[in-house]
Amino acid sequence: RNMASRLNLLNTMCRLPQCSAASRAMSSGRAAWDGPQKSKEYPLHVKTIACLTKEQVLKVLALAKDMKAAPLKYADVLKQKTLLMLFEKPSLRTRVSFETGMTQLGGHAIHYNIADSPLGKKESIQDTARVLSRYVDAVTARVFTRKAVEELSANATIPVVNALDDFAHPCQMLADLLTISEFRGGSTDFTGMKMAFVGDCQNNMTYDLMRMACLMGFHINVAGPDSKDFEVEWGVVKECENLQQKSPGGTFSIGQDRDAACKGVDIVYCDSWMSYGIAPAERAERLKALMPYQVTGKTMELTAPGSIFMNCLPAMRGEEQTAEVIDGPKSVVWDQAENRLHAQKALLTLLIRGFDTPLV
């Protein structure tokens, strides 16, 4: 009786409301947690640049340009929205650009280091994706292999963005297109443009640059050592051939001659030869194989008038390019780095708010 009296007294004092059947249904229902469906495409996952259509890429570029020109106009566009950034690989540009971007858009970004707590170890990636979908509005993942990005996107009900894996780097592609457009008078018609990528062709940057060329309608020459350790994956070649059928105009070639690849092109692109994940013991052998593909001042003399040099950074002077190139008048690498911020702000806004939703 004494216990019953205490319970009655406590109930009277607190007067806790009882949950209705409808409330209980909402608390366990997916719609109550995941938010409204923005469109039939939501959530759109960006695993490679080819996950976006040409029209969506152009929307990202248009919004990025406006955000860069008038940032305060979009100061609240992602208010109360949260981005979770998963990092298995460290990065200066990726973390700072995403975190700064979410702040400038009125949202919040959380950095989570998974190097010491790998995805798929303590719980399945499938379960992690489902949990995160109930907490945040989007996820970026910078990881060593494509498997993690594939599994996250297969199970998340919010947008997942590949912030770099061994297969693609779509955020860099958008920043690069924005940079190229700025140096082509603001045009987003890339038809007829020619690019060369030289160096290690078994590389996430090579793959997404090839996809981007086929998607956006320009030509890319890829040149690197004739070795199974540096060649383009056959699956990427087939993927690009399929893209050519869907979006005619883009073309690619693969060879081993640096100078032939760079002759007459509008853009010369290279990437680090010692990316994260490559053992230091391989350094000497890699340098020996790749040095014939170093971009020098003489290499740039082979290019078209008004050509530019690009590197997604970090860069090593004296390796993939000489100092006179990266610090020279044709280099746009610092513009590329800045444009990560603007391109990613636009991408996140469109993924979270919807590509067809009025923003301001």
- 286 in catalytic set: no
Least confident of 113-127, 195-209, 227-241, 289-303: 113-127
* Choice among 171, 240, 262, 312 that is catalytic: 312
3-state SS, the chain, equals: CHHHHHHHHHHHHHCCCCCCHHHHHHHHCHHHHHCCCCCCCCCCCECCHHHCCHHHHHHHHHHHHHHHHCHHHHCCCCCCCEEEEEECCCCHHHHHHHHHHHHHCCCEEEEEECCCCCCCCCCCHHHHHHHHCCCCCEEEEECCCHHHHHHHHHHCCCCEEEEECCCCCHHHHHHHHHHHHHCCCCCCCCCCCEEEEECCCCCHHHHHHHHHHHHHCCEEEEECCCCCCCCCCHHHHHHHHHHHHHCCCCEEEEECCHHHHHCCCCEEEECCCCCCCCCHHHHHHHHHHHHHHCECHHHHHCCCCCCEEEECCCCCECCCECHHHHCCCCECHHHHHHHHHHHHHHHHHHHHHCCCCCCC
Percent of the chain surpassing pLDDT 70: 88
Residue 172 is among the residues annotated as catalytic for this protein: yes
CB 288 within 8 A of CB 273: no
Distance, in Å, from the CA atom of 143 to the CA atom of 137, rounded to the nearest integer, reads 20
CA distance 353 to 54: 19
Q: Cβ(223)–Cβ(290) under 8 Å? A: no
Residue of 93, 104, 137, 169 with catalytic role: 169
User: Is 169 noted as a catalytic residue in this protein?
Assistant: yes
The answer to whether residue 142 is catalytic is: yes
Whether 80 is catalytic: no
- The arrangement of strands across the sheet holding 82-87 comes to 108-113, 82-87, 138-142, 160-164
- pLDDT category at 24 given cuts 50, 70, 90 is very low
**One of 172, 256, 321, 344 is an active-site residue; which one?**
172
pLDDT over 90 at 22, yes or no: no
Per-residue model confidence (pLDDT) at position 360: 81
Q: Which of 1-5, 34-38, 344-348 has the lowest mean pLDDT?
A: 34-38
Query: What is the pLDDT at residue 275?
Result: 78
Q: Which of 165, 166, 176, 271 is catalytic?
A: 271
Catalytic-role residue among 211, 258, 340, 342: 340
Check residue 19 and give its pLDDT. 40
The tokens describing 209, both together, are 């640059």
Higher pLDDT, 160 or 8: 160
